[in-house]
Structure 1
Amino acid sequence: MADPAIQRLYLKSVLSLPPPVLRALSGGGVIWRGGRTLDPRFQFLWKAWRKPRGIASVTPEEARTTWAEMVETAAPRAPSMVRVDTVMIDGPASTLTARLYRPSTLDPAAPVLVFFHDGAGVVGDLETSHALCARLAEYGQCLVLAPAYRLAPEHRFPAGFDDAFAAYAWALENAERLGGPPGVAAVGGQSIGAGFAAGICAALKAERQPQPVLQLLICPLVDIADESQSMQTYADAWPLSAQALKWVLGWYLSADADPNDPRLSPLRADVAGFAPALIVTAGFDPLADQGESYARKLKSKGVPVIYRCYDGLPHAFPEFAGLVPCAEVACTEIAGFLREGLEGRLVRAAALPDHQDSMSLVI
């Protein structure tokens, strides 16, 4: 990949062109699937960045490098007013490095949000999730603790989840020292990080421990054996395809992994009594149905839920918010939902609508 700074300037210039021009540069036509139309800027990026090389021949190290370079090019700048400190956490196997994000205006009543990055347990790190965490802290007016959990294949499941759970427990014990109210915390994450957050709710329920005050799930991976319609409709989507998901889970999972394990597939757990949830999905994502199904299941058990699907966006859209304006708007909205959730403004309401309506909030 070219120098990220140069490529960023080039892409920002090209992506400012009118949608018909972008679609023409992308080969013409509109990408329309399942009643949804892909944003023309993402259509151009799909054409420009999708690699013809088969994913099966890519190594985890290559995937990490490629993703890091892509995010460096496409991610938005983190709010400059957010203070970022390095924190060391006692993990189950070794000391974990984490980043603590402190907003310019901190609500002292807002609990710490422990947020886990995406990457299916194989790619991604604190840097690739940096801009999103800073935005959540600033506009959510809360502390955000982002731990660097162990990655596969060097450390297969359940290592990453165990680190995530340890980070949440550490946040509970140290919440007051960090600057939040004592003894409470929220959990959140993106993709598999969202799965970690939901899995923590399942683990706490199994141990008869109190739930987090909130779970924030962005494009959640909550069923590793998912066979829903979105897995077929958006099988060739970018940057996450069904083939790429299968490849990365092959590196992440241990040989004896059970798809029904709630640490892997919290969608299959008994979710009664789980924490209130903010669930966000992307329309052009093989995982889209998982997030909606999880929202519906929580709602059926009386758990307060806000659900939102951004129809024209793909998986991992927050990492592209520096290039695609509608992705940036979505991230700001998510931070606003977080603020409402932390203030306790989630309420029970009617069941989710039977039809898909990405422009409506389900609360």
Structure 2
Amino acid sequence: MGIQKLIVRALLQLPDGALVAMSGGKPLTIDGRTLDARAQFLAVQGAKAPSIVTLDPVTARAATAEGLKLLDGTPSRNVLVETMTVPGADGPLDARLYTPRNAGGPLPGLVFFHFGGCVIGDLDTCDTFCSMLAEKGECVVLSVAYRLAPEHKFPAAAEDAIAVYRYARDNAETLGMTRRIAVGGDSAGGYLSAVVAQETRRTGEETPVLQLLIYPVTDMEWQGGSWESCENVYPLTREIMEWFIGHYLNDRGDAKDLRASPLKAGDLEGLCPAIVITAGFDVLRDQGIAYARRLQEADVNTTYRCYDNLPHAFTAMTGAVPAAKRACEEIARDVRRILHTF
């Protein structure tokens, strides 16, 4: 463990009161919610660093990767990890396959897409969380490094997500999966999972058995609510979200496409069961809530939870914020409940 990581971890062992005192002197409260003390400390520290909007995407990827290393937990030793490539929509993509060591045969599968606004992020971004999903969700997880913008603009990431789901579905036995295959992800990955669920239903093909949508982007034209009240909350400010959208879309007209804004779909009936997760301190919170409500109104089997005291990207904070680790474990148990219910 590096010295910087040791220092961060040591500071986060301080009592809540001390961390709040070092973070402005009073708890951060927005929309009737109070941010976890450790998350508040990290938010204040993160706000001191140059925003990624001042960087080019390649530099931003390297900077955020280094920052995430300070916060993430340790992947489970009870999970085997295999590096591989899988076919995307326009060529091979790097991927990792997570298989519980005690698997006595094929298990349900989960195709996972990492967060990062379709601009940053890689297979390391959600490495620990994927191992947690495999172990506690009792499933085989295929994590995919889909193409990123601005090198690959919309709809490249969405097309890759659909292609990889089809590959996993059609090659389940080779991957150690049963035919019960889910899609899931956080933030951009949640958005991509919603698109896969909608597109496979639209084409009349075999759809996922579950869509795991963790603080998903559902409408790239969203305004109001948490988009404003949480606009300056680390690590995803409104300015950063707009930077992502600007790099991802070819132009603002793309935001009206259902493959960019799945919330705009007129009919959600017949979609696969969903787990929708939001974070209380997140510019994306209210559009995630809106999508969960639309699913419920369409009689889609939907589990919804908001972790009121956590910020965006808490899936990458399991080594630094105990509340984030507990939330991730609960999400993994939700996945297990649905994937193992026949």
1:217 pairs, out of 213, 218, 221, with 213
Within the alignment, does 1:245 sit opposite 2:241 as a pair?
A: yes
Q: Does the 8 Å CA contact 1:120/1:249 hold for their aligned counterparts?
A: yes
In structure 1, what is the Cα distance between the partners aligned to 2:310 and 2:141? 25
1:60 pairs, out of 48, 57, 60, with 57
Q: Structure 2: which 5+ runs fail to align?
A: none
Within the alignment, does 1:128 sit opposite 2:125 as a pair?
A: yes
More strand by share: 2
Q: 1:54 to 1:75 in 2, by over 3 A?
A: closer
1:308 pairs, out of 305, 328, 334, with 305
Please report how far the alpha carbon of residue 106 of structure 1 lies from its aligned counterpart in structure 2 after TM superposition. Answer: 3.1
Please report how far the alpha carbon of residue 52 of structure 1 lies from its aligned counterpart in structure 2 after TM superposition. Answer: 5.6
**Length-normalised TM-score, structure 2:** 0.96
Partner of 1:245, secondary structure, is helix
Q: Does the 8 Å CA contact 2:106/2:173 hold for their aligned counterparts?
A: no
Please list the CA deviations of residues 292-347 of structure 1 after superposition, one character each: whole Å capped at 9, or x if unmatched. 111111110110011111001000011111011111111111111111111238xx
Task: Give the structure 1 partner of residue 31 of structure 2.
Answer: 34
In structure 1, what is the Cα distance between the partners aligned to 2:229 and 2:252? 29
Partner of 2:69, secondary structure, is helix
In structure 1, what is the Cα distance between the partners aligned to 2:59 and 2:291? 32
Partner of 1:208, secondary structure, is coil
Report the aligned-residue RMSD.
Answer: 1.5
Q: Aligned pairs, how many?
A: 341
Please list the CA deviations of residues 51-78 of structure 1 after superposition, one character each: whole Å capped at 9, or x if unmatched. 3645542211221111100111110000
Please list the CA deviations of residues 196-253 of structure 1 after superposition, one character each: whole Å capped at 9, or x if unmatched. 0000111112212232100111111111111140101101111001111001111111
Q: Structure 1: which 5+ runs fail to align?
A: 346-363
Task: Give the structure 1 partner of residue 72 of structure 2.
Answer: 75
Within the alignment, does 1:6 sit opposite 2:12 as a pair?
A: no
Task: Give the structure 1 partner of residue 254 of structure 2.
Answer: 258
Q: Does the 8 Å CA contact 2:108/2:340 hold for their aligned counterparts?
A: no
2:96 pairs, out of 99, 102, 106, with 99
Q: Does the 8 Å CA contact 1:105/1:141 hold for their aligned counterparts?
A: no
Q: 1:41 to 1:164 in 2, by over 3 A?
A: same
Identify which of structures 1 and 2 has the higher relative contact order when contacts are C-alpha pairs closer than 8 Å and 6+ apart. Answer: 2
1:186 pairs, out of 182, 185, 189, with 182
Task: Give the structure 2 partner of residue 298 of structure 1.
Answer: 295
The aligned runs of 1:135-284 (5 Å cut-off) are 135-182=132-179, 184-255=180-251, 257-269=253-265, 270-284=267-281
Task: Give the structure 2 partner of residue 50 of structure 1.
Answer: 47
Q: Which amino acid aligns with 2:214?
A: I
Please report how far the alpha carbon of residue 256 of structure 1 lies from its aligned counterpart in structure 2 after TM superposition. Answer: 6.4
Please list the CA deviations of residues 130-158 of structure 1 after superposition, one character each: whole Å capped at 9, or x if unmatched. 11111100111100001111111111111
Q: Which amino acid aligns with 2:55?
A: V
Q: 1:47 to 1:256 in 2, by over 3 A?
A: closer
Q: Which amino acid aligns with 2:159?
A: D
Q: 1:49 to 1:300 in 2, by over 3 A?
A: same
* Identity, % of aligned positions: 43
In structure 2, what is the Cα distance between the partners aligned to 1:139 and 1:55? 33
Q: Does the 8 Å CA contact 1:278/1:341 hold for their aligned counterparts?
A: no
Partner of 2:171, secondary structure, is helix
Please report how far the alpha carbon of residue 187 of structure 1 lies from its aligned counterpart in structure 2 after TM superposition. Answer: 0.5
**Length-normalised TM-score, structure 1:** 0.90
In structure 2, what is the Cα distance between the partners aligned to 1:106 and 1:267? 37
2:283 pairs, out of 274, 282, 286, with 286
In structure 2, what is the Cα distance between the partners aligned to 1:53 and 1:334? 32
Please report how far the alpha carbon of residue 112 of structure 1 lies from its aligned counterpart in structure 2 after TM superposition. Answer: 1.1
Partner of 2:216, secondary structure, is coil
Q: 1:228 to 1:253 in 2, by over 3 A?
A: same
In structure 1, what is the Cα distance between the partners aligned to 2:272 and 2:105? 21
